[in-house]
Structures are given as structure tokens and as C-alpha cells.
Structure 1
Amino acid sequence: MSNPVDYRPRPGEIPTAPGVYRFRGPDRRVLYVGKAKNLRARLSNYFAPLRTLHERTRRMVTTATSVEWTVVGSDIEALQLEYTWIKEFEPPFNIKFRDDKSYPYLAVTLADEAPRVMVTRNHRIKGAKYFGPYPKVWAVRETIDLMIKAFPIRTCSDSSYKRAMDSGRPCFPGQIGRCGGPCSGRVSIAEHREIVGQFVAFMASHDRSVITRMRKQMQDAASAQDYEVAATLRDRVLALEAVLEKSAVVLPESVNSDLFGIEHDELAAAVQQFIVRGGRIRGVRSWVVDKELDLGLAELVDSVLQSAYENDEPPGEIIVPELPDDSEALEQWLRGMRDGRAVRLRTARRGDKAALLQTATLNAKHTLAVYKTRRAGDFVARSQALADIQEALGLDEAPLRMEGYDVSHLAGTNIVASMVVFEDGAPKKNHYRRFSIPEYADDTEALYQVLMRRLAHIDDDQDEPDPEAGRPGKFAYRPNLLVVDGGQPQVAAAARALADSGVEGIAVCGIAKRLEEIWLPGDDFPVILPRTSDALFLFQRLRDEAHRFAISYQRQKRRRDIGSVLGEIPGLGPRRVQSLLRHFGSVARLKAAEADAVAEVPGIGPVLAETIVKALRAPAPEGGVPIEAPDEEAAADAR
């Protein structure tokens, strides 16, 4: 581990101009690449006192042994150089795109003598026009099947086309009516290119005027009694209508935009891109990003857009959840990919675009949840996580049974705690337990009480599982590791409980949420696990599950409390109590409501409404506490 002071440049040496900087490791490998409008101001942030830095930034600067920079003329040049160096050096502390899967596109090979339409994942076909991406290959094939009914163009392979043109015999797809190229003998090369042009124009705009023209031609052919031509045009109109029906209209037809929904946590981010052309969703992309440093949403947007348009041309409008600081430079960079045509970055706060962005964000949230679930369900990854925890904490054996603890309360009332159990790295929900705590001094004292109660039963014979009953005992089995939510104070309380209870052979640690670091009893410095390690992921899952279980129990107690108070009001039965809580959504809203608003609830008259309001606003009895705090949800979630 290096000391940043040893390689910190003198402030006067660092220019104040825009530029790109690189941190290098002891082997001269580039660890991180970043850009800045003011290099001196930006780099000074990395050389602040180590205790003030985020843990991931602290790990990067202590791993690096040197820093260098390159001055450029403008923000847009800094953006371009940063992008180039990230692709060239692949720095480990920059964002990594885990999901490197490619998406299928519909491509038209315009550079060929007789262009063909095809399904491909190759972005580098010379002269090709691409449409998509599509979520699945079958979606591209379905679109092609419909489109070639309206625009019969070539679908056969290059070898089949060459063989057919040399022999004068149609290719096999042409013989069965699946290929409309010159090899079929029905059109010339010039006529075929004209049809290809119509195909590309319709795919690019989904212009309904094409259908209108075909309908008129069909009617003219029918009036001239040319029924075969009229039937062919009818089939083409039906095919185009089917293509349009496959693409739902979500925005006005003049809208050509890309929308990016992003959901992220401490370790990863999921991105959902909706590609809207002509007001219709023409394609969807989804990928997961690994976060090594602590990046905010705006910085994520910057990196996501650089990746999204690495091979694709951006549209004129890009809608993102939050604008990055260098949005103007980013717009200029994207404009260069559109041959100088304008690109506008914007957010959407209301209207149809905001609703569609919310849908994309919900999809991103689902993608992140699926990614975490699959990672948690990987037995090999869980086994590696347990082995890594054993090594990192210096345990004699892998912690096959881990118990996580968290305390929750609302302004010192309804104090509860949770115990969750992970066996072999997976939740054991029938072993979860919850605790009510009658007296409260602070979180550490509450945690001490809970662990003393749990440890008192650690070796009780009566707590062993009952095979005949088919269920575990009160606490089931002895854990290998106790994990508490918090840092040094919480770990010290847990260690004190172990010492006072006389229980030996159980390890204890804490995970601090802000920096995601692991604390051991008596240590002055935490254990730092790699940000992408399965061991840290397992600790986080255990901590988050304990928090969720404690919060859910605490809310149950609050609901029972307010329900009992309401139930004491004459004329209010269980059904009316539920109707009140369902109507207002929370106790805070119910307490703040006037009698007229309460009377709007079905079954509640004006007189009863007055009685309810008076009961809820009555002062608490001496020595008591209010029924609920006005900011109940925020306070509970903060816990």
C-alpha cells in the first residue's frame, strides 16, 4: 500500500486547464482515467486526508504510485481523450460493463450489388444499414417475414446468390417464394434496389403514407380489373399494418429519442435503453455495470452514454434520469457521431416521456434484482464467498451458519430487533427470529440486550430441533459468525455480549453501511473487501435482509398501536379502522386530516369524524409518547 503523499504533485505544478488524468500502479498499469474542467481543482480532491475520502477512492489512491495528466483545449477534447484511454487501457477502477452480450439487429447490405436483408450481431458490415437492436432473434426474423411480404427483397446468402446468378436458376429461397432478389428472375438489379430503398425508408420512419399510397394503387388496380396486382398490393398493405401493430405507439410520430432508465446501488448499476423511432419503441437494450468507485447518477449517465453509442449513431434527443456536469461537452461529442447534426440531452419530469422513462427505470430495477438473485443463487459463488470471508476475518473454518442482527425504532418507540440466518450463503427463513425491546437507551444497548437473550439459549438441549415436530427449536443451531449492522460501537456491544454470556468459539463482525467496510472487535482499522467480491456481496445481502426484517416488524407494531387507539373510539370497529388506514395511506396523513376529509371515508359520518380527530390529536398521557411521529416512514427507513 502506497502513501499518496509520496507521489502528490505540488499544487503549482498542476494546470488549471481542462484535461485528462491517469493514476498508475507500481507496475505502471493505468488504474483509473478521469477528465476534469480544472485539473488542479479535481486532482486536489484525491489528495485530501485519507480519512475524508470514500473507501473506494482511498483504496485507489493508496494502490496507485503516480499520477499524470494531459492538457487539452476544451471539454469536448477531454471527453474524447478519456473515452479513448478507457477503451485502450481498461482501467480496473473505471466502470466495467459486465454484460458484454451482443444484441441482434436487422441489417440491409446496401453496399452489395443486390442488397439483402439479414439478422446479424456484427456491427462492422461495410455499407450496411442497421435497425434495432431487438430483444430476441425471433423478433428480428418475425419482422423480416412480415416486411418481405410488402417489399420482396433478397434474403438468400451471398454464395446462394452468386450460384443462382451464374447458373440462371433461382436460389432455393427464391423457388419457394422467400427471396425477391434478382436471382429469383422476377426483377432486375435496378428494380430490386428501388424496392430496397422503399424497404429502408419505411423501416427508418414507419411512415403510414407508404400504406396510403399502396391502398390507392390497389384501388386503381381493382378499378382497372387487374385483380392479381390488386391482390398483391392488398397483401403488402396487410403486412405493413402488421409491422406497425407490432410496434406500440408510445409517443407522437415525430419523436425519435433514446430513453435510459438506470437503477444502481453501491456495487452495480442496471441500464435499460428504450429506442423510440417514429413514436414507437423500435428496440430495447439492457446491461449491468460494475461500479468500482463511488459514482453518482450523473457520473453513471456520462459513462453509460459513452458505451451505448460506441457503435451506434445517437438520435437527436436522448432522455436521461439526470444530466451530467459536462452535458454540453457530451452533446458535442455525440454530435460528431451524427455527422454534425444536433444532439440534445435532457431530462423528463412530466408527460408521456417521463412516464416512459419511469417504465424504463422499472425495467432497470427488475434487471438489477434478477442479476443479484442469479448471483446469490450461484452455489460456486456462495462457496467462494464463504472461503473469502474465512480468509479475510482469519476464521478457523468457513462460516457455514451466519446470523445477522439489526435494531429498528421510531423516535425511541416501538423498539424491535431482528435475527436473520444464512446457511451455506443462502437465507434460512424458517430460522429467522424477531425481538421486542421494552427499554431503550441507544442502539448499542438494544443490540447488547438482544444478543444476551439469544446467547442465553446457545447450548440449551430444549432448543435442539424436534424431528417429530418437523421444525427447528427456538434458535436451532449454534452460529459460526454473528454479523451486526454498524461499525465499531455496534461490534464492541456484540463482543461484550459474547464475553458476558461466557460463550466461546463464535466470531463477530460488523458491516458499516456508508463505506461497506467490515469491522472486527478491537481493531483500529476495518477489513476492506474488493468491491466486486462475492464475500462483500454476501455480507450486504445478510445486512439488508436483517434491516428489511426489522423494519417490517417495527411497522407491524406501529400499525397495531394506532389500530388499538382507533379501536377504543366508540363506533369504530376493525373494518372502519382498516378503511381509514387504507384511505389515507399512513397514520401521519390521518392525523393531519381535518374532520371533513375523515368524513369522506365510507362508513364514517361527520360526528364520528370529529370524534376521531379529537382522539388522535389529544395530548399523550404523562410519561407517554405520541402515537406516531409525523415523519414516520422517513424515520423508519433511516433506521
Structure 2
Amino acid sequence: MAEFGELGARAAQLPCQPGVYIMKDAAGRVIYVGKANSLRSRVRSYFQPANSHTPKVLRLRESIADLEFIVTSSELEALILECTLIKRHQPRYNVRLKDEKRYPFIRVGLNEEFPTVTTVRRIAQDGARYFGPYTSSWAMHETLDLLRRLFPYRTCGEDMERHRERACLYYHIRRCPGPCIGACTREEYREIVDQLCLFLEGKGAQVLRGLRNRMAAAAEALQYERAASLRDQIQAVERVIERQKVVSASLTDHDVIAFARSNGSACVQVFFLREGFLIGREYFVLEGTSEEQDSEILGSFLEQFYSEAAHIPAEVIVPQVPDSALVIASWLRERRGRKVTVKVPHRGEKRDLLHMAQENATATLASLRAEWEADEGRAVTSLEELRTQLGLAETPARIECYDISNIQGNHAVG
């Protein structure tokens, strides 16, 4: 650790401009990333007398060996850069999503002539549409199975310009419209994909209107078999929509976010409301929250979640004002291209929804903690059994394995 005097002197020389500061330990690892409207004021505060800091900041301060900074043109730009660096380095003293892997998305290849529907873990600026993130791969694949039944789409990598003589099994079981054999035109296939995207956006009423119009047009053109197929599709979509929970006709495009904390862990619950329906929910576990204020946890989550989210709603409902609320709202507006409101409701149906999300976050965290404790108990039992079997004096704290190769028992390497 560098002397506080040296670090304090360096902090005093930082510019009074917006930016990001990066703290490293003696091994060169990034241990904390922060943003500031004034780099000098913010970083100098870390080197004030110890009685003005939380235990977490004191531990951080003891670990700092080096300090870097990046000046930005605005506080908004600093927020974006901070979020990028936290995801890249996963600093131990930052609030961060527990699962380091990227969450999966559904990708609809609208940039393709006959769009495919696939799963990815990274959003690219390639003209495709992305939906997610999903915290559960199982839930995402369940969604894909449902979409396949409601809006049959191709999953093959066939060249659509070279028509096949025979269709695959998916065509015969009505899970693909068969563009590879010319059973549907490019325009007809695109209509299916457009309906699929609207359904994923939660615009069920718009999907049904489109399907009914197509059914009426088919019947008028005496295409009775196609009209009957569209009728069956309409009924299937209606059954799915009926199972969705009606929340409010006035809440058309909202995310409701609440979180619970217990013994150093935090669980965030997100409800997705579209056209008055609760179309889905996801939970996220955060690390590094034990000594943080609720407003700091909420602000960090909003930054990390919406930096990856495929859709930004018109309004985000939260339990309290997050850190850097105005900057976050400006950033969300920039990402969405239209106004975004971050609101703390005090009464009415929005408050009731927030309470419901809070209860779900509390219940989810309790369930997760029970799982973690059970896993920890099994690990302790297994290590104790290993100690007994190997005749060790103490329970092993670390186990190393070495792989070697040899040629018929000789020339071992590894």
C-alpha cells in the first residue's frame, strides 16, 4: 500500500472535472472504480481522517497501492465509463451483479432476409432486435418454445435462395412455415416475425388485431385453409394472454424495481409491465452491498442493468431516489431516444406494485439464502470426509491438481 501522504498528495493534484477514478492494489488488480463530478474533491475524501469513513472504505483505503483517473466531458459520460469498467474488472469493493457471466438474450435477426431467432449473451449493433436479459436460461428456452408454437419460424441455416425439394420435419409439424421450399413468401415470413417481436414487447392487443385483419383478408380472398390456420393462431395467442396477470390499464410501459437485503446479500426484483399486463419478472443478486446505502445499491443496479437491457421503458418505478438520479435519468433518456422518468410513488397502484415487488424480492432472497447455506453445509461435510479419508491433521483449505502427459510411462511433462 502506498503511503496515504503520497496518495493524498496525488489526489490533491487531480483536476476539478468530471471523470472516473480507478484504485488498484499492490498486485495491480483493480479493486474499486468510481465516478465523480469533481475528481479532486471525490478522491481526496478517501484520505480524510479515519473516523469519517465506514469500515468498508477503511479496508479499501488499506488496500490501495495505485490510483488512476480518466477525465470525461460530462458526468453522464463518467457514468457510462464507470459501468463499462465495473463490468470489465469486477472490482471487489464495488456493488456488482453476482453472476459474472453475461445474461442471455433472444436475438431476432431483422437484418436477415428471412430472420432467424437465436440466443446470444452479447448485444451487437447489427440491425437485429434483442429481448432480455433473462436470468434463467430455462425460462428463456421455455419462451422460445412458446414462440415457436405461436409464431412458427425457421431455425435452420439453409440458403433461402436455393429451394429444397423437401421440407424438414419442423414444417410438417407446423413449427416452421417452410420458406426453404417456397411454402411462404418473404413478405409472409416477415409478417410472422413482426408479430413475434410485438408479442415479446408485450403488445398482445396489437398482435391480435394484426392476426384478425390477416384472417379476414384470407377469408375474403377465399383462402379458407389459411383463414382457419390464422383463427387457430389467434385462439392460441388469446389463451396465452389470458394467463398473464392484468395489473392496470394505465401502466402501459413500466419497470417496477425493488430489492431486499439480508446479512450482506441483496436481491433485486424487476417486474415488466406492458399494456397493463405483468408480462414477466426477473431477479438479480448483488455482491459488495454489506456497508452500502440503499440509494447507492439502487443506483449501481440501475446503471448495470440498463446498460445491457434490450428495452428501456417510459417509466422506472423505484422505492427511493437512487444515487445520481438526474444523471441516470439523462442516460436512460439518451439510450431510449425519448423521455424516461425514474419515479418514487407514495400512493396508489404504483405504490401497491412496488410493495408486491418488494415482497417477492424478500421471499426470493430468503429462498436463495437457504440454498446457499445448504450448499455450504454440504461442502463442509465433504471436506471433513476428505480429511478423514486422507488422514489429514486439518480440513483442507485448498486442493491442487496437476495433469501430466507421458509416452508409455516415460518423458512425463506437465
TM-score, structure 1 normalization: 0.53
Residue 306 of structure 1 is matched in structure 2 by 303
Residue 363 of structure 1 is matched in structure 2 by 360
The alignment partner of 2:201 has SS state of helix
The alignment partner of 2:245 has SS state of coil
Tell me the CA shift for residue 128 of structure 1. Answer: 2.8
The alignment partner of 1:322 has SS state of coil
Residue 31 of structure 1 is matched in structure 2 by 31
C-alpha contact (below 8 Å) 2:92/2:288 kept by paired residues: no
The alignment partner of 1:282 has SS state of strand
**RMSD of aligned C-alpha atoms?**
3.4
Q: Does 1:328 align with 2:326?
A: yes
Letter in structure 2 aligned against 1:143: L
Tell me the CA shift for residue 9 of structure 1. Answer: 2.0
Instruction: Tell me, in whole angstroms, the C-alpha distance in 2 between the residues paired with 1:397 and 1:186.
Output: 70
Tell me the CA shift for residue 271 of structure 1. Answer: 1.1
Q: How does 1:313-392 map to 2 (within 5 A)?
A: 313=310, 314-338=312-336, 340-377=337-374, 378-379=376-377, 381-382=379-380
Residue 412 of structure 2 is matched in structure 1 by none
Change (3 A) 1:292 1:347: closer
Change (3 A) 1:385 1:264: farther
Residue 81 of structure 1 is matched in structure 2 by 81
C-alpha contact (below 8 Å) 2:21/2:68 kept by paired residues: yes
Q: Work out which of the residue numbers 202, 205, 208 in structure 1 matches 2:205.
A: 208
Tell me the CA shift for residue 320 of structure 1. Answer: 1.7
* 4+ runs deviating over 6 angstroms: 219-226, 383-386
C-alpha contact (below 8 Å) 2:22/2:67 kept by paired residues: yes
Percent same amino acid among aligned pairs? 33
C-alpha contact (below 8 Å) 1:375/1:381 kept by paired residues: no
Instruction: Tell me, in whole angstroms, the C-alpha distance in 2 between the residues paired with 1:320 and 1:199.
Output: 30
Residue 236 of structure 1 is matched in structure 2 by 233
When Rg is computed on C-alpha atoms for both structures, the one with the higher figure is: 1
Letter in structure 2 aligned against 1:155: R
Q: Which moved more, 1:257-266 or 1:268-277?
A: 257-266
C-alpha contact (below 8 Å) 1:323/1:347 kept by paired residues: yes
Change (3 A) 1:234 1:37: same
Tell me the CA shift for residue 342 of structure 1. Answer: 2.1
The alignment partner of 2:188 has SS state of helix
Residue 19 of structure 2 is matched in structure 1 by 19
Residue 140 of structure 1 is matched in structure 2 by 143
Instruction: Tell me, in whole angstroms, the C-alpha distance in 2 between the residues paired with 1:254 and 1:293.
Output: 34
The alignment partner of 1:9 has SS state of helix
Residue 128 of structure 1 is matched in structure 2 by 128
Instruction: Tell me, in whole angstroms, the C-alpha distance in 1 between the residues paired with 2:186 and 2:212.
Output: 26
C-alpha contact (below 8 Å) 2:296/2:322 kept by paired residues: yes
Tell me the CA shift for residue 308 of structure 1. Answer: 0.9
Change (3 A) 1:106 1:23: closer
CA deviation map 1:532-572 (0-9, x unaligned): xxxxxxxxxxxxxxxxxxxxxxxxxxxxxxxxxxxxxxxxx
Letter in structure 2 aligned against 1:193: R
CA deviation map 1:185-237 (0-9, x unaligned): 32122332233234333443525255346546657877898654543332122
The alignment partner of 1:288 has SS state of strand
Gaps of 5+ in 2: 385-392, 396-414
Change (3 A) 1:73 1:385: farther
C-alpha contact (below 8 Å) 1:114/1:181 kept by paired residues: no
C-alpha contact (below 8 Å) 1:206/1:244 kept by paired residues: no
Q: Which moved more, 1:163-172 or 1:173-182?
A: 163-172
Instruction: Tell me, in whole angstroms, the C-alpha distance in 1 between the residues paired with 2:250 and 2:179.
Output: 34
CA deviation map 1:238-291 (0-9, x unaligned): 022123123222132662122211112452211111122222223322121111
C-alpha contact (below 8 Å) 1:94/1:291 kept by paired residues: yes
Q: Work out which of the residue numbers 272, 275, 278 in structure 1 matches 2:275.
A: 278
Change (3 A) 1:211 1:123: same
Tell me the CA shift for residue 165 of structure 1. Answer: 4.1
Residue 265 of structure 2 is matched in structure 1 by 268
Letter in structure 1 aligned against 2:156: S
Q: How does 1:104-123 map to 2 (within 5 A)?
A: 105-118=105-118, 120-123=119-122
Change (3 A) 1:328 1:177: same
Tell me the CA shift for residue 93 of structure 1. Answer: 1.2
Tell me the CA shift for residue 298 of structure 1. Answer: 1.0
Gaps of 5+ in 1: 387-395, 399-639
Instruction: Tell me, in whole angstroms, the C-alpha distance in 2 between the residues paired with 1:48 and 1:224.
Output: 80
Letter in structure 2 aligned against 1:174: Y
Q: How does 1:157-306 map to 2 (within 5 A)?
A: 157-158=156-157, 161-162=158-159, 165-212=162-209, 214-215=211-212, 227-252=224-249, 255-265=252-262, 267-291=264-288, 294-306=291-303
Q: What is the count of residue pairs matched by the alignment?
A: 382
Residue 53 of structure 2 is matched in structure 1 by 53
Residue 399 of structure 2 is matched in structure 1 by none
Letter in structure 2 aligned against 1:261: A
Instruction: Tell me, in whole angstroms, the C-alpha distance in 1 between the residues paired with 2:382 and 2:223.
Output: 73
Tell me the CA shift for residue 121 of structure 1. Answer: 4.3
Tell me the CA shift for residue 379 of structure 1. Answer: 2.3
CA deviation map 1:297-322 (0-9, x unaligned): 11111211122123223222212222
The alignment partner of 1:208 has SS state of helix
TM-score, structure 2 normalization: 0.79
Residue 590 of structure 1 is matched in structure 2 by none
Q: How does 1:205-604 map to 2 (within 5 A)?
A: 205-212=202-209, 214-215=211-212, 227-252=224-249, 255-265=252-262, 267-291=264-288, 294-313=291-310, 314-338=312-336, 340-377=337-374, 378-379=376-377, 381-382=379-380
Tell me the CA shift for residue 140 of structure 1. Answer: 0.6
Residue 404 of structure 2 is matched in structure 1 by none
C-alpha contact (below 8 Å) 1:146/1:240 kept by paired residues: no
The alignment partner of 2:114 has SS state of coil
C-alpha contact (below 8 Å) 1:93/1:293 kept by paired residues: no
Letter in structure 2 aligned against 1:379: G
Instruction: Tell me, in whole angstroms, the C-alpha distance in 1 between the residues paired with 2:223 and 2:70.
Output: 72
Change (3 A) 1:74 1:229: closer
C-alpha contact (below 8 Å) 2:20/2:33 kept by paired residues: yes
Instruction: Tell me, in whole angstroms, the C-alpha distance in 2 between the residues paired with 1:108 and 1:14.
Output: 46
Change (3 A) 1:91 1:198: closer
Change (3 A) 1:85 1:214: closer
C-alpha contact (below 8 Å) 2:313/2:340 kept by paired residues: yes
C-alpha contact (below 8 Å) 1:264/1:270 kept by paired residues: yes
